[in-house]
Structure 1
Amino acid sequence: MSWFDVALFTEVFVTLFVIMDPPGTVPVFLALTSRMTAADRRRAARTAIFVAFGVIVVFALFGQLLLEHMGISLAALQASGGLLLLLVALELLMGKMDAGETDSGGSARNVALVPLATPLLAGPGTIVATMVFVQRGVSAGSRRSGTTRRSASASSRCASAPGRPCGSRAWCTGCSRTPESRS
């Protein structure tokens, strides 16, 4: 069995591409960087991409631990992230400028970090999807290795003590007993 699951990779790629929506972010990027020079736009684009990638990787590796430590569920993260995206969208829709932004063409804030990298590219939807896919990948890997260990263990128990319940929670490979019939 290969360590690279093409079907899972394709599903992750398509899901993250749809959630992040890079083509849909282009007009927002152009609007937010309209007063920047070409070099500043390239730098902002690179910064947004690297920060979004970093956020996704950090949450893929440590997101579940972080959420468990803070006592936050994935559903709560989704709900609060949706509200955050709504507020950012309303701010962008209204054309509201921050107090730190100047009208003379310069910008006192870095638009590559907020709102481009987070929450538009690496927002709550992307973070939650990444964490769910990581959990699925880990559980699938442990199921594959764990199933082999459980079936081998159950077979040895049934073979060593025929006619007695094997004690496994699932169907035993060494006998035809179900968990309900073992009493």
Structure 2
Amino acid sequence: MEFFDFALMTAAFVTFFVVIDVPGVAPIFAGLTDGASQKHRTKMAIKSVAIATLVLVGFAYGGEWLLGALHISLDAFRAAGGVLLFLIALDMIFEKRTKRREERAEKLSGEDHEHEDISVFPMAIPMIAGPGAIASIMLFMSQSDSAGAQISVLIGLGANLLICLLVFLMIGPVMKLMGDTIAAMITRILGVILAALAAQFIFDGIRGALLGG
């Protein structure tokens, strides 16, 4: 009983499920890897979840110290992530990513083209290991006063990351059922959603900084 806290694990699981938002992140992954081979998508899925895991575990044990040492607040991190995410959204809305892929296809032939690596940004950071997830893991770990409590929190987090990975790995065949027109439409819609999400990150960061100050 002392080694494992089921109630804490459940609370952590629900919190990370809401914060990471796997159902919302999965279509973004599909849009960002549109046109890529299944091999590339699988690589991006594994790599993005692995990097997000390292980031979150790293912040779980050293986040407060690192941000404090660099004099960086979570609000500043949130705002910066929003700005970067907004740039990706613009690319999706105006199909600059599609144009780059077409230019690449003209230069390369036959082999599996080297598509953009979206594993670190924006998938791992800030889509999976975003400010909300980082703040949540830091809060849970700071309130866990035993090894059992910390393990319970990490299990709750790990379950969400595993679900995220499985969804990413299965989304490729689903997107193949769609035609180019529908895929282009979805990409632009997701671009608008990403822009709104980016704006929300920025607003939250500014609001938090003003209220905190």
TM-score (norm 2): 0.55
- Which residue of 2 is the match for residue 6 of structure 1? 6
Is the aligned partner of 1:126 residue 2:133?
yes
1:21 alignment counterpart? 21
Given that residues 29 and 116 in structure 1 are in contact (C-alpha distance below 8 angstroms), is that contact kept between their aligned partners in structure 2? yes
Q: Which runs of 5+ in 2 are unaligned?
A: 106-112, 147-213
Alignment match, 1:110? 117
In the alignment, does 2:149 pair up with 1:137?
no
Q: Distance in 2 between matches of 1:94 and 1:8?
A: 44
2:71 pairs with 1:71: yes
1:21-100 → structure 2 map (5 Å cutoff): 21-82=21-82, 84-85=84-85, 88-89=88-89, 91-97=91-97
Listed as ranges, the matches of 1:141-152 within 5 Å are 141=146
Shift, 1:93, TM fit: 4.5
- CA distance, structure 1, for counterparts of residue 131 and residue 117 of structure 2: 20
Q: How many residues align?
A: 138
Contact 2:60 2:137 in 1 (8 A): yes
Determine the C-alpha separation between the residues in 1 that align with 2:132 and 2:95.
24
Runs (4 or more) in structure 1 with deviation over 6 Å come to none
- What is the identity, as a one-letter code, of the residue corresponding to 1:31? G
Higher normalized helix content (fraction of residues):
2
Tell me the residue number matched to 2:177: none
Distance 1:11 1:34, change over 3 A: same
- Cα shift at 1:107: 4.7
Q: Which amino acid in 2 is paired with 1:69?
A: A
Task: Provide the rounded CA distance (Å) in 2 between the counterparts of 1:123 and 1:89.
Answer: 16
Q: Within 2, Cα distance between the matches of 1:88 and 1:134?
A: 32
8 Å contact kept, 1:81–1:125: no
Deviation of 1:53 after TM superposition, in Å, equals 0.6
Identity of aligned residues (%): 37
After superposition, the Cα gap between the structure-2 partners of 1:82 and 1:133, relative to the gap in structure 1 and judged at 3 Å, is farther
| Matched letter for residue 134 of structure 1 | M
**Larger relative CO (CA 8 A, sep 6+): 1 or 2?**
2
**Structure whose alpha-carbon radius of gyration is higher:** 1
Q: Is the 8 A contact 2:85 2:122 kept in 1?
A: no
Deviation at 1:72, TM superposition (A): 2.6
- 1:52, 1:121 within 8 Å by CA — same for their partners in 2? yes
d(CA) in 1 for partners of 2:19 and 2:114? 28
